[in-house]
Structure 1
């Protein structure tokens, strides 16, 4: 235990030493790119000088090349920037961050066997189908290895994961969510899936797809409406949902596929504090919805509706990082995917450029105004150039600037769109390199929390392909 904690401490120390000087970059607002001169103030001068030598196409192509070849030794400043960030991101080490193959070995050591995958191609997107197929067999295998009696999904919404658990693996399961309407729709969907199960589900054994011969038990996938916090009593909810099992002890595997914001940390706290939970299998999501001490007022809509009085901050969780803050924009950046951007060669949307240019005009002529960006989110797609964007944004916000300003002023603001666009694109890509670094801090903090509380069988598992499912890591722990 002490060895694992020490290794995580050392890993975090190395990441934070690299990340801390770059947090102003991670927390900047792209809206203020020009007005706050982000290009000059937030990037190293030698990196700027290197990029300035290239045109946009050359710079972008070099970025794709260097980011796709992490082991390539190159003294170019752009290559150094990319590879340094990659070297400070969490990777499989077969110690506390393990692969799927390592997870299979652990499951066998814990007394379980790895069950075959179940493929469901209907009633869910291809992304969700992939995630359910990949995750459900490990949850079911962990359920058996820990002699659990029930599975509880935190924030399950549509109940996709538990459909596979109940119909494919015969695991009595409960989906808990605070959205009553979503749960009602999910319950109706489960009934339809159950009727068509033999036609839409396949069991995959040694790469071969097989039809299901038997129908699994009916009525073992149930739903409960509740806003989950760290104080939620798992045993009580399970007793209410499965009263026929009341005389037996409830041994609950607590799971969640992409638990948003504080729901992930609260799930870990429930597992740590309640002996009725036997194991944890949690895939986190939406780091920007976590709460930190620095921005505790920025709650999401569900937290506003249900209140946050019983919840602790979502970050940090560990004693080791107590008092440390990332910042909301940094956490929002952590939810972006460099892997997906690389795979699809995605460049930022022109709206970033137009909004930043519009900010120059607003700050110059209406310095005390407080614009609400939400009203401007969809207008860039309707515009062919910045002039159209300015006119439409001015009308939406009723600022009265477009007709007051001469055409010459507008020309001056956007006098070098090609250079401005190049800076926006490259700045966005360079900043994106920090996304996985920040996510690594969040994940290691959660793992460290479990280790600090005595759960030595705790691991980060790289579960999904990061292109298919960018939030690809899971937290797995056994009591």
Structure 2
């Protein structure tokens, strides 16, 4: 009787705690959306149409626009770089800080640090695993991500009672290389591209042969050689297009026939899960009891499908002949009917942290393409354009005149030799002022990137809460300068 009463109290406490988290999530999402919604036209604009649609006048808040117009270009840019460290009361600083205040951060119940995740995993019964660094066969960025993430996945594997890891959309299988060779976990990489899978299988065989030479265990910041023998048969591959209805347990049994009699429990992971693959993975988790946990890092938000994108197919669906089986945003019932827009989702994948850290200004090609649009819309207003033909053209041209001549030939415009020299001279003469507007507009708009990403991430978190999960967190896994898509989603059944 006493035990029953205690169990009820614990259950009620957990339920109330979960409801409190959901309530806080609702409030934060509503607050972010209230801020973001009036700014979605700014987030969804095309920089190509900067001049033809008068973005500077129409899309910037009037007080901010006036302040920027009164500033010298270099002074305004310098202020932007220092907004995070130098508290100056002006319209630009207010804009930057206001956008920052509407992003996810570590100071709440559901967005935690990597260290906090380690403590959570320990409390769930997992044991801490040392990091492993792989020095070859990966870019420095990917090596950092695998080193940072793999030991957490391995620790979560034990805490969740999993029998196999499944990497969704793994491509080259970077993460399971470490999971299988360093932590001895049966791991399956699932990707929709058969050619990628075939190349990855050959590459992994090479890594296995050189493992002890290229992999080091990290303890207290120091590298140690790995002496343990490896099992080269723990990492396998499957080619399939993952949807919310995919039976991953059946694929695991097929690829690990020696485990077919096991009670399969899957840890679903992904680095990075592009577009709708992230939402599909979470829907598999919520509907399949054999998925015991997940740790995924999303990316490529522009490839998500919204209800307004019913006529679009992402690159994977086009290439592999699949149709959409669910919308990637929104997932939560609380946001049903809310739309971001494709350009806003594309903006969400840009990294303001990296831009500020390296003080990166946009390439001049942004100005050149917008100026070209003015010429085309003035002289050929009904011409349909193929954007792909001009991709990468800007950096190859020393000035706008060369850009225009090359673009004219690629697009077969027939304008370069017919327009008077004075026409081009007048355009070029006006470019310095226009370059200032392009640069400042780009930086101001970039501030919305993490706001939009926050809506996408919190929507996924709320979806999991709505489906009864309690051990659910956003985790800031990576340094955003090194790896801009730095947040992972962790959930344990």
TM over 0.5: yes
**Contact residue 357 and residue 414 of structure 1 kept, 8 A:** no
Query: Cα offset for 1:36?
Result: 0.6
Measure, in 2, the Cα distance between the counterparts of 1:443 and 1:457: 16
> Which stretch of structure 1 is more off in the superposition, 297-306 or 368-377?
297-306
The Cα of 1:183 is off from its aligned counterpart by 1.0
Equivalent residue for 2:337, pick from 313, 323, 330: 323
Establish whether residue 468 from structure 1 lines up as the match of residue 485 from structure 2.
Answer: no
Q: In 1, Cα distance between the equivalents of 2:356 and 2:477?
A: 20
Q: Contact between 1:171 and 1:220, CA under 8 Å: does it hold in 2? A: yes
Q: What is the DSSP-based 3-state SS (H/G/I as helix, E as strand, rest coil) of the residue aligned with 1:259?
A: strand
The residue aligned with 2:424 is 410
Q: State the match for 1:27 in structure 2.
A: 44
**1:57-68 residue pairs with structure 2 within 5 A?**
57-66=74-83, 68=84
Q: Which residue of 2 aligns with 1:273?
A: 287
Deviates more, 1:469-478 or 1:302-311: 302-311
| 378, 381, 386: which one aligns with 2:400 | 386
Aligned residues between the structures: 476
| CA distance in structure 2 between the aligned counterparts of 1:49 and 1:40, rounded to whole angstroms | 10
Kept after mapping to 2: 8 A contact 1:149/1:252 = yes
Please say if 1:294 is aligned against 2:308: yes
1:208 Cα deviation (Å)?
2.3
Alpha-carbon offset, residue 93 of structure 1: 2.1
The CA deviation at 1:301 is 2.4
Tell me, in whole angstroms, the C-alpha distance in 2 between the residues paired with 1:74 and 1:343. Answer: 19
Distance (whole Å) between structure 1 residues aligned to residue 309 and residue 387 of structure 2: 19
Trace 1:55-454 onto structure 2 (pairs within 5 A). Answer: 55-66=72-83, 68-69=84-85, 72-309=86-323, 311-454=325-468
User: Unaligned 5+ residue runs, structure 1?
Assistant: none
Q: Is the 8 A contact 1:334 1:434 kept in 2?
A: yes
Residue deviations 1:441-463, cap 9 Å, x none?
Answer: 00000000000000011110000
Instruction: Please name the residue that 2:70 is paired with.
Output: 53
Which runs of 4 or more aligned residues in structure 1 lie more than 2 Å from their structure 2 counterparts after TM superposition?
305-310, 411-415
Q: The residue matched to 2:473 in structure 1 has which SS? A: strand
Aligned counterparts of 2:294 and 2:311: Cα–Cα separation in 1: 29
Shift of 1:94: 4.4
For 1:427 and 1:476, the matched residues in 2 are separated by: 36
| Counterpart Cα distance in 2 of 1:163 and 1:226 | 19
Judging changes above 3 Å, is the alpha-carbon distance between structure 1 residues 310 and 429 closer, same or farther for their aligned structure 2 residues? closer
Q: CA deviation at 1:315?
A: 0.5
Cα distance in 2 between the residues matched to 1:441 and 1:470: 16
CA RMSD of aligned residues (A): 1.1
What is the deviation of 1:102?
1.0
Single out whichever of 299-308 and 275-284 deviates more from structure 2: 299-308
| 1:36 and 2:50 aligned | no
Aligned mates of 1:9, 1:118 — CA distance in 2: 38
Shift of 1:85: 0.4
Q: How much does 1:310 deviate?
A: 5.5
State how far apart, in whole Å, the 2-side matches of 1:386 and 1:192 are.
Answer: 47
Q: Distance in 2 between matches of 1:202 and 1:21?
A: 50
| Residues 165/122 of structure 1: CA separation in 2 closer, same or farther (3 Å cut) | same
CA distance in 2, matches of 1:120, 1:405: 57
CA contact (8 A) 2:313 2:323 kept: no
1:16 partnered with 2:33: yes
Q: Deviations over 1:285-344 (max 9, x none)?
A: 000000111122222222123344452011000000011000000000000000000111
Unmatched 5+ residue regions in structure 2? Answer: 1-17
Secondary structure in 2 matching 1:467: coil
TM-score using structure 2 length: 0.95
Q: 1:121, 1:200 within 8 Å by CA — same for their partners in 2?
A: yes
Q: Distance in 2 between matches of 1:353 and 1:298?
A: 28
